[in-house]
Amino acid sequence: MKLYKVLFILIFISFETSRSQIANSNDGCANIHNDYIKGIRLFNYTDVSNCYKSIPFDRSVANQTIQTINELFNGFYSFLDIAREPPPNGFNFSSINITSELNRLLNNNTYGSLFQFMTDVRNVTSQLKDAHAKFVTSCFTTFAFFSNFTLYSVVGTNGTQIIKVRNDTIDPSNNNCEVILIDGIQAFKVIYEFARDSVFISKDIGVRFNLALDLVDAENSFSYRMNLPPTLNITYRLNCSNNIKDVNRVWIAMSLPEILNQFNDSKSFYKNRCNITTTNQTMISLYQREFHETKNLLHVKRDNSILDVTQEYKGDHDNWQPTNVTVIGVVQDFISFFIKDNFGVIKIFSEQITFNDSVAINTIKGFENLANSGVKKIVIDLSNNFGGSIAVSAFINLILFPNNPNPFFDYDLRVTDSIRFALENGILFNINETAFSSIKTKFQNINDFIGNNSYSRGNVMGRYSNKFVPDILSLLTNFIAQYLRIPLPWKSKDIIILTNGVCGSACALIARHAVENNNVSTVAVGGLVNSTNLSYSSFPGGVYIDSSTIFKLNSPNNTLIPKPFPLNAYITLPFTEVYSRKQPDKLLEFLYSPANFTIFYDEQSIQDQSILWSKAASYIGKT
């Protein structure tokens, strides 16, 4: 249920390269090491490209990778069959038989490097447009890439969508210039196609468009990437107050010291980054650190190849940071409470938190303080929230809507022999901590849990478990009753939800509960002009598991659990489904959820989220 918080130090730079982007030798890995020991921390794109491509294609590695990943999909992926169906109205993605498409890669006889093959595996899995289904290799996520040039989108006076410069960290005079062309192609077309093909976080193309322009997620951003960009540089043609000019920006590569210390040439790069020399769990942890530390963004300058950190960078994608507001309460990394003008704001950043009594009590105090302030209207900002714990979402749902005592949606899972084995061995969850969704009594045993249900998905008849919910309702309601000293004054008509569509997983369960079960209105920001209304939530697909956990059950005589990947790699897969309450035969993952209202960024609101709060508040009571 989580996409992690970034650790890596993405760097904003005035970059004056001290050596050419042409590699000094054929061993890019060695060049990188030589730079690193000199104190250089920003690396040459060509060296990284050569380093990655130095590993030759290995047919046996390819065969084992596809065998393992397909066995994982067949055994554990909840949406294996329904992914074959055409997208519902409102969504933009292609139906896919994922295992067939992965097998097709093995028929390609043109691979020159393992990098090319693994990139294609990643690209095929990303076609699912499922944020919970993600394939990562240690080798080829060693570096993150930044171009010192970020973008945003506004709507012009003629109603067309315009791409503009958000932050050129080399030449700030380009900020807010219109971007006409990117590498000779219409700028909007480039970003749209990147969102359509390369962003996988949502089934809504408008949400993917928002993510492509943001820095919040390096796996889905046009300007900041965990995957090797296809070319050394990007050329932007700008219109700056009728002054037309071309700006070229080179991709800069960055990594963590823990990673850079692992190799000094291509041979040691393969041995220590690609071979299975550490546990997959260690690899996952390091990748999550590398992926996320770049969001701490530092201003640096490059002087004679030595980095000089000058000041901490506070903004760019952190545009939720408001101005002209009163702070009522803050629970670090989770939730904040504000007053803006005559309305209140509840900003929920993530549900991926350490959820203990202290956090819960301070959250309740924040709600109480906001209620005691006397505000009559509330904006709940769920933008750029990738989710977390189901318990946290249920906790918020019960506080906001005490008259609707069921804060959960119904879950089930696709029953396979592998799923049953995993349940019996306790690596998915404890069925004793779940209950029948209809009667709320606990399951007696695994057969009671699995039941005897068959549904057709993608023209495939499959077995599915009985519907269930977490058995924590009384725990949460008793806790809230103990610490919430006053009734909150707001009704559904007094509340509106604001998102940019990037409200996923546990966040989506908050938004969907508010809308489906309590008739709260929604405002979405951004997306595409002249398109269907932007979704207010994404990927509410349920609980996921990573392959490293599954591999713990692997043994020589066990055919239900696949062999580990032959190289350092992992995949995450959702193994549960979540059902709509309004349309109980529909899965939330495949149910289009358009916002009631849509607004778009402008030159001011892209820098100050509180402007969007005011716009959202103006729609309260309008539905």
Rounded to whole angstroms, the Cα distance separating 35 from 26 reads 15
pLDDT for position 217: 80
pLDDT for position 254: 92
pLDDT for position 618: 97
Q: Each residue of 77-126: pLDDT tens digit?
A: 999 999 999 999 999 999 999 999 999 999 988 999 999 999 999 999 99
Rounded to whole angstroms, the Cα distance separating 511 from 494 reads 15
pLDDT for position 157: 87
Q: Each residue of 512-569: pLDDT tens digit?
A: 999 999 999 999 999 999 888 999 999 997 899 999 999 999 988 899 999 999 999 9
pLDDT for position 319: 45
SS3 letters across 187-249: HHHHHHHHHHHCCCCCCCHHHHHHHHCCCCCCCCCCCEECCCCCCCEEEEEEEECCEEEEEEE
Which letter does DSSP use for residue 614 in this model? H
Contact at 8 Å (CB) between 20 and 403? no
Residue 389: partners with Cβ closer than 8 Å, 6 or more residues away:
1, 351, 352, 353, 355, 506
Token pair belonging to 43: 């690396």
Q: DSSP string spanning 263-313?
A: -SSHHHHIIIIISS-S-HHHHHHHHHHHHHHGGG-EEEEEETTEEEEEEE-
Rounded to whole angstroms, the Cα distance separating 250 from 190 reads 17
Contact at 8 Å (CB) between 297 and 585? no
DSSP β-bridge partners for residue 300: 13, 309
CB atoms within 10 A of CB 168: 21
Phi, psi for residue 567 in degrees, rounded to 5: -125, 170
Residues belonging to the chain: 623
Report the Cα 510 to chain-centroid distance in Å: 17
Q: Point out the residues of the chain with pLDDT beneath 70.
A: 1-24, 277-321
SS3 185: strand
Percent of the chain with pLDDT over 90: 82
Contact at 8 Å (CB) between 580 and 587? yes
Nearest to 351 by CA among 304, 291, 301, 391: 391
Residue 433: partners with Cβ closer than 8 Å, 6 or more residues away:
470, 471, 472
Rounded to whole angstroms, the Cα distance separating 126 from 505 reads 17
Strands of the sheet containing 577-579, edge to edge, are 434-436, 468-470, 410-412, 577-579
Rounded to whole angstroms, the Cα distance separating 113 from 493 reads 58
Rounded to whole angstroms, the Cα distance separating 195 from 197 reads 6
Report the Cα 526 to chain-centroid distance in Å: 17
pLDDT for position 26: 85
Give the pairing type, strands 233-240 and 178-182: antiparallel
**Residue 133: in which H helix or E strand, if any?**
none
Token pair belonging to 30: 């060695």
Burial profile 476-502: b = 16 or more Cβ within 10 angstroms, e = fewer: bbebbeeebeeebebebebbbbbbbbb
Token pair belonging to 63: 């065969």
Rounded to whole angstroms, the Cα distance separating 344 from 495 reads 10
Contact at 8 Å (CB) between 224 and 146? yes
Separation in Å, CA 56 to CA 117, 264, 267, 270, 516: 10, 18, 11, 10, 52
Contact at 8 Å (CB) between 462 and 81? yes
